């Protein structure tokens, strides 16, 4: 079968060509022809230890290696021999001479960049932990309407007792009025409505929120005192709903001046000291971690408290 013989000859030719160009152990050997040492011995002669800057040995075998085995500086205190996770020293502020990852200028880090954008108000020049501005409101899913049209939707959805449509309509009305929006005026107008169907009530309830949360009104003002809720009656219909309910319509109107919805504060809470301004949280611990490990795992950069064994 001449065709099969031709194919076989072609395969042999391809294999021979690939073998001819394939690198061998000899071609990969970096040693000079006159060198009698092994490859490992040559590597040790060429290497320079980062611990002492001397040639002839690896960093792991350096006789001048610092206690603890680490050769780099601790990011917390600047000393050599341990890392930040194991550091028990006070933080030492050192000048930053690198390049900012945000603006590409030299002399400051990205988290101290004057051009950084606050994630709460979307303005530049400060961090979220320093923000005192009104928050940027996410109007996604909320139509942009004229005030008159938005108010008509509020009345119609309240008359229909459609809570989902009422919530959207109320936010659209707040978007139309912006900083002139007033929950008290809305509640008073709903009570004066001549619609025969009982409208929805705006109720400002007293409610405890977690430290990492805050209450934000419909136009972005944070740190409000009361949680806004909607009801079909001025009084709680169930006993379980009475907690935090205003005692009277007058008290409710007073509370509505500082009411909103619960949102993330945007500022992390240190799980070690419960502080609001620690920039990095401690690493998660395991329930059966040895006590000596628990003593040194506090990684909150600005936390001055040392995590004690048994706290977790």
- List, for residues 201-257, the tens digit of each pLDDT value: 999 999 999 888 999 999 999 999 999 999 998 888 888 888 899 999 999 999 999
The predicted structure's pLDDT at residue 275 = 56
Query: Which 3-state string (H, E, C) describes the chain?
Result: CHHHHHHHHHHHHHHHHHHHHCCCHHHHCCCCCCCCCCHHHHHHHHCECCCCCCECCCHHHCCCCCCCCCCCECCCCCCECCCHHHCCCCCCCCCCCCECCCCCCECCCHHHCCCCECCCCCCECCCHHHCCCCCCCCCCCCCCCCHHHHHHHHHHHHHCCCHHHHHHHHHHHHHHHHHHCCHHHHHHHHHCCCCCCCCCEEEEECCCCCCCEEEECCCCCCCCCEEEEEECCCCCCCHHHCCCCCCCHHHHHHHHCCEEEEEECCCCCCCCCCCCCCCCCCCCCCCCCCHHHHCCCCCCCCCCCCCCCCCC
Mean pLDDT for 17-45 is 54
- Give the lowest-confidence range in 66-75, 190-199, 260-269: 66-75
Mean pLDDT for 84-91 is 82
Query: pLDDT tens digits for 122-167?
Result: 988 888 878 889 999 999 999 999 999 999 999 999 989 999 999 9
The predicted structure's pLDDT at residue 309 = 40
Distance CA(99)–CA(22), nearest Å, equals: 44
């Amino acid at each position: 079968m001449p065709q099969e013989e031709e194919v076989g000859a072609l395969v042999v030719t391809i294999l021979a060509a690939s073998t001819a160009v394939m690198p061998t152990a000899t071609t990969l050997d970096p040693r000079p022809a006159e060198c009698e040492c092994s490859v490992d011995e040559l590597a040790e002669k060429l290497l320079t230890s980062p611990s002492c800057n001397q040639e002839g040995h690896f960093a792991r075998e350096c006789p001048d290696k610092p206690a603890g085995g680490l050769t780099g500086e601790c990011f917390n205190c600047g000393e050599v021999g341990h890392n930040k996770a194991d550091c028990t020293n006070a933080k030492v502020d050192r000048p930053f001479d690198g390049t900012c990852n945000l603006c590409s200028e030299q002399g400051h880090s990205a988290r101290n960049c004057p051009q950084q954008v606050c994630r709460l108000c979307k303005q530049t020049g400060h961090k979220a932990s320093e923000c005192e501005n009104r928050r940027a409101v996410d109007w996604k899913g909320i139509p942009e309407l004229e005030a008159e049209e938005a108010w008509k939707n509020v009345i119609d959805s309240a008359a229909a007792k459609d809570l989902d449509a009422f919530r959207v309509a109320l936010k659209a009305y707040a978007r139309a009025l912006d900083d002139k929006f007033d929950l008290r005026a809305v509640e008073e107008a709903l009570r004066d409505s001549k619609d025969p169907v009982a409208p929805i009530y705006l109720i400002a309830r007293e409610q405890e929120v977690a430290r990492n949360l805050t209450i934000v009104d419909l136009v972005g003002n944070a740190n409000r005192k009361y949680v806004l809720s909607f009801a079909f009656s001025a009084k709680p219909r169930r006993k379980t709903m009475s907690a935090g309910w205003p005692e009277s319509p007058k008290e409710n109107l007073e509370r509505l001046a500082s009411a909103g919805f619960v949102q993330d504060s945007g500022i992390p809470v240190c799980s070690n000291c419960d502080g609001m301004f620690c920039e990095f949280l401690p690493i998660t611990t395991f329930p059966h971690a040895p006590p000596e490990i628990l003593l040194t795992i506090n990684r909150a950069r600005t936390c001055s408290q040392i995590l004690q064994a048994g706290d977790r």
